[in-house]
Amino acid sequence: MKKIFPILPLHFVNVLGFSLLIPVLPSVIAEYSGVNQGLLYGLLLSSYSFMQFIAAPYLGKLSDRYGRRLLLILSQIGTLLSWIIFASAYFLPDDLQVWNMSVALLVILFARIFDGLTGGNVSVAHAWVSDRTNKSEKTKAFGIVGAVYGFGFLLGPALGGFSVATPIAYLGTAILAIIISLVTLVVICVGLPESLPKAKRKVSERMELWQHLNFFAKFRLFRENKKIRPLLSSRVVFALVYVAVTTSMILLFQNHYLLIPIELGFVISVVGLFSIVNQAFIVPFVERKIGLVKTFYVGLLLTAVSLLILPLLPWGLGNVFWGWPFWLFLINSFPFNLGLSMVITSFKALITTSTHESAQGEATGLDESITSFGHGVAPLFAGLLYDQFSFWIFGAYGAILIVLFAKCIKFK
Q: What is the pLDDT of residues 97-135, one digit of tens each?
A: 887 788 999 999 999 999 888 866 777 787 787 777 776
pLDDT at residue 11 greater than cutoff 70: yes
Sign of CA dihedral 127, 145, 211, 117: negative
pLDDT at residue 24 greater than cutoff 70: yes
Cα 168 to Cα 162: distance, rounded to the nearest angstrom? 12
Sign of CA dihedral 399, 274, 147, 84: positive
Which of 151-155, 163-167, 353-357 bottoms out in mean pLDDT, i.e. has the lowest? 353-357
Cα 43 to Cα 46: distance, rounded to the nearest angstrom? 5
Among 103, 83, 115, which Cα is nearest to 33's?
A: 103
The mean predicted confidence, pLDDT, of the chain is 80
Among 305, 299, 304, 248, which Cα is nearest to 278's?
A: 299
What pLDDT does 184 receive? 85
What mean pLDDT comes out for the span 245-267? 81
Among 191, 177, 172, which Cα is nearest to 3's?
A: 191
Kind and range of the H or E element at 381?
Answer: helix 360-389
User: CA separation (Å) from 382 to 209, 272, 280, 354, 389?
Assistant: 26, 21, 30, 33, 10
Which of 70-84, 118-132, 275-289 bottoms out in mean pLDDT, i.e. has the lowest? 118-132
What mean pLDDT comes out for the span 258-284? 80
By CB atoms closer than 10 A (0-12, 13-18, 19+), residue 353 is exposed
In 10 A of CB 329, how many CB atoms?
A: 22
Cα 207 to Cα 204: distance, rounded to the nearest angstrom? 8
What mean pLDDT comes out for the span 179-197? 85
The model's confidence at residue 298, banded by pLDDT at 50, 70 and 90, is: very high
What mean pLDDT comes out for the span 181-193? 86
The pLDDT tens digits for 25-73 are 888 888 887 666 788 888 888 888 888 777 776 777 777 778 888 888 9
**Residues 247 and 407: beta-carbon distance below 8 Å:** no
State what percent of residues in the chain have pLDDT above 90: 17
The model's confidence at residue 358, banded by pLDDT at 50, 70 and 90, is: very low
Residues ≥6 apart with Cβ < 8 Å to 64: 127, 196, 201, 202, 204
What pLDDT does 251 receive? 83
Residues ≥6 apart with Cβ < 8 Å to 188: 6, 9, 10, 69, 72, 73, 76
**Residues 296 and 344: beta-carbon distance below 8 Å:** no
What pLDDT does 411 receive? 44
By CB atoms closer than 10 A (0-12, 13-18, 19+), residue 166 is middle
Among 159, 346, 355, 164, which Cα is nearest to 266's?
A: 159
Higher pLDDT, 207 or 100: 100
pLDDT at residue 296 greater than cutoff 60: yes
Question: What is the DSSP code (8-state) at residue 102?
Answer: E
Cα 399 to Cα 308: distance, rounded to the nearest angstrom? 7
Higher pLDDT, 274 or 217: 274
The pLDDT tens digits for 301-350 are 999 999 999 888 876 555 555 667 777 888 898 999 899 888 887 877 77
Residues ≥6 apart with Cβ < 8 Å to 280: none
Residues ≥6 apart with Cβ < 8 Å to 72: 7, 10, 63, 121, 124, 125, 128, 188, 192
User: CA separation (Å) from 121 to 51, 73, 127, 128, 211?
Assistant: 11, 10, 10, 11, 19
Cα 114 to Cα 52: distance, rounded to the nearest angstrom? 9
Q: Which domains does the chain have, with CATH numbers?
A: 1-193 (1.20.1250.20), 213-412 (1.20.1250.20)
